[in-house]
Structure 1
Amino acid sequence: MPHNKLLYLTTFGVGFLAVGLITVSFKLYDFSLKNKELKDKISLEKSIHQNQISEILKRYDSVNEKYSNNVSDVKVSASPKSVSISAEKNNKVVVKTNPEILVKKLSAVNVSARGVRIISNDVVETTVSSKIDQVRVRFTLEENKDVKPGNKTIFIQVVNPKNRLLTLKGGGETQLVKEIYYDRLNTDACVFIDLYQYQLIVGDYKIRLINEGQIIGTANFRVN
């Protein structure tokens, strides 16, 4: 009889322990699910906040650049000069000023530049020099009723951290020529510039948009 009682107690204890383990397992599983949901929610909120901050910074840069352009126009009006860009030996960028009265000109706003590479038809932004195949340049030709409508020739240059023009793929030129039809309204444009990876060095690069010998917009991008 004592033997049967001991067996009964042992069986009962094992059963109770099994139920306890199952209960704990379910609770751990439930906790894991809730923890995963919380992490996903935090990650989503972080991504949303980063996108919002990025959008705010882009708008700030656009407003700041527009303000700078306006200030520049006021100063030039007081002492009329035009700026021309040329490239001398070793692709060194040279900025020259010529005394002449300025006329109404195009202005590029919302200019942005990013190093990218194409992966399965997707454009992926990157700052790693060994992964950059192209530079994507986006800009808007600002509405201006004083500028004649028609095709506008935009020259796009890439200046490296040593203030030298990069030689672009596809012809050995130091600037890309883009024809854009302009009808005095805000005109959006997106251009991809093919680069030689071996030319890329670490630092900040500058994109120059030029029309009729004058810089109408600039943007910077980083290469690591």
Structure 2
Amino acid sequence: MEDICQAERDFLIGFAENYKSKSEADKARLAEEARKKAEAERKRQEELREKQEEERKKREAEEAEQKKLEEKEKNKREQENNFNNEDKPNFSPNSDNSSSQTEKKGLKIAGMKMVRLTPQLAEIFYQEHNAKAFFKGMTEFMSSSPVVVICLEGENAIKLNREIMGATDPKQAREGTIRKIYGVSIDNANAVHGSDSAEAATREIKLFFKEEEIFS
């Protein structure tokens, strides 16, 4: 009888220990699963933050690029709306006609002066033609007597003023244009020079005008 009772006790003790062991294993398994789940969530959150940071940087870069493009476009418009006009030596006595014609087109005179080009300044002014046969004669002509330089401002100033000036060759210029009326020949004495691009206008204006001499 005592042996049976002892056997039952041994069985119950073994069962309890086995049950207890399984319970601890389950707890360990659940704890491990929870840890892995938490680690996975942490990684997910970290990846999400990294993605958000990348998107933020990308957005900032795009905004900066857009701002740069807008600023560039603004500067381009400003350059296009500023135009350097130069009445040549054979035309200076009639420079009032040049300014009146440009004003009729809605262009504003932002700067105007009479200057005497030195041969060196004339060479700088026409530097893009320095390899051409007419370069020497042109620079000598342009420095032979005073010229009137005008900085014009207005919408599409370059296009409008080139229409006012007319074709480079006075013979081919439209009636009523400055070169048709006052130009003598295509060889220098075509009355007036005008910037042909925003870049040229910027360079030429800086040659003749200080910043404080431009009144926008």
TM range (shorter): 0.3 to 0.5
Higher helix share: 2
Say which one has the larger Rg.
Answer: 2
TM-score, L = length of structure 1: 0.40
TM-score, L = length of structure 2: 0.41
